[in-house]
Copies of this chain bind each other. A is one copy, B any other.
């Protein structure tokens, strides 16, 4: 059960203490391990589930007091995609992450960052290693994904060459430094797998947006590992009520386009033929030599129909 909210601050005009999240306090500073040599640590934070309630209540004035209790209010706000009350909470993490992964991470612009400087200091002597069984195969259907693993025997060859590469790039990096080359230039051929560290500070609204994108199946496995850890180990402890609402109303939500709504409404009326005609009109049912041609939008709808236990009108019953 989610904790009781500390209602003191929300109601009293003259509060005396900052909001606290006791479960998060218990792991403050503790390094959660990710990948072979990465980690995430909570360094500082501001706010708790109660801050969301407090912020929303100023918007609504006294008008809302009776209507909602706190948990219901947080869930209502998240369901209706309110954003500002969630911006009122901040968290500051210390992360250690391969540069290749950091390149994706840093694309989220609404965060504050202080990264370890390899202009100023010698680069961290660690690069992400791939064990023989963890070389991922290029996905066939999805040009930017992976699916399954390479045979570990073949993988062992790749891993050995990877190790050779890491040793060689590091040796040449250090040779450059010994020759007096400026750190800012010596680093130029370090592999993207080199670890970096950073403080990363972000508000809850933008963090949830980051997590929605990066915990998703389509995110690259490495950043997904970080995102899942941040969500499941950190946000869950920090904001138990908001986290639960985020699962119910965002992560496990299902969105239907206007086209999909039209098709389902025909199914709902029991008119399979109209549903099929609509889909055909949208160009989703083109025939090829081996049956229906692959069509992304149709496949997306089929998955949704399956999840809703609704029939796929153009699927043959065998």
| A residues adjacent to B (C-beta < 8 A) | 9, 12-19, 25, 28-31, 43-47, 51, 54-56, 58-64, 76, 79, 84-85, 87-88, 90, 92, 94, 98-100, 103, 106-107, 109-110, 112-117, 119-122, 127-128, 130, 135-139, 143-147, 150, 154, 158, 161-162, 165-166, 168-169, 172, 175-177, 179-185, 187-193, 197-199, 201, 203, 220, 247-249, 251-259, 261, 264-269, 296-297, 307-310
Contact call A116/B199, Cβ cutoff below 8 A: no
**Residues of B close to A45: CB separation below 8 A:** 18, 46
Contact call B88/A136, Cβ cutoff below 8 A: no
Contact call B62/A121, Cβ cutoff below 8 A: yes
Cβ contacts A to B, 21 pairs, < 8 Å:
A18-B25, A44-B47, A47-B92, A61-B117, A61-B122, A84-B112, A87-B201, A88-B201, A106-B107, A127-B189, A135-B176, A136-B184, A150-B180, A158-B179, A162-B172, A189-B191, A248-B259, A249-B257, A254-B256, A261-B307, A265-B308
Contact call B253/A100, Cβ cutoff below 8 A: no
User: Which of B112, B177, B252, B310 contacts A87 (CB under 8 A)?
Assistant: B112
| Known pairs A30-B14, A54-B199, A55-B114; A158 contacts B176 (CB<8 A) | yes
User: Which of B9, B192, B197 contacts A189 (CB under 8 A)?
Assistant: B192
User: Which of B56, B98, B154 contacts A188 (CB under 8 A)?
Assistant: B98
Contact call A56/B114, Cβ cutoff below 8 A: yes
| Known pairs A59-B120, A165-B172, A258-B247; A84 contacts B114 (CB<8 A) | yes
| Known pairs A58-B116, A308-B261; A180 contacts B144 (CB<8 A) | no
Contact call B181/A79, Cβ cutoff below 8 A: no
Compute how far the CA of A146 lies from the CA of B198 in the bound complex, rounded to whole angstroms: 24
Compute how far the CA of A64 lies from the CA of B121 in the bound complex, rounded to whole angstroms: 9
| Known pairs A44-B51, A310-B268; A255 contacts B253 (CB<8 A) | yes
Compute how far the CA of A54 lies from the CA of B29 in the bound complex, rounded to whole angstroms: 13
Q: What is the chain B residue whose CB lies nearest that of A117?
A: B59
User: Which of B61, B87, B188 contacts A191 (CB under 8 A)?
Assistant: B188
User: Which of B84, B85, B184 contacts A144 (CB under 8 A)?
Assistant: B184
Closest beta carbon of chain B to A77's beta carbon, Å: 11
Q: What is the chain B residue whose CB lies nearest that of A191?
A: B189
Compute how far the CA of A267 lies from the CA of B307 in the bound complex, rounded to whole angstroms: 12
Compute how far the CA of A239 lies from the CA of B247 in the bound complex, rounded to whole angstroms: 35
**Residues of B close to A307: CB separation below 8 A:** 261, 265
Contact call A16/B28, Cβ cutoff below 8 A: yes
Closest beta carbon of chain B to A226's beta carbon, Å: 15
**Residues of B close to A198: CB separation below 8 A:** 58
Compute how far the CA of A101 lies from the CA of B14 in the bound complex, rounded to whole angstroms: 24
User: Which of B15, B58, B114 contacts A197 (CB under 8 A)?
Assistant: B58
**Residues of B close to A51: CB separation below 8 A:** 44, 92
Compute how far the CA of A187 lies from the CA of B144 in the bound complex, rounded to whole angstroms: 12
Contact call A158/B181, Cβ cutoff below 8 A: yes
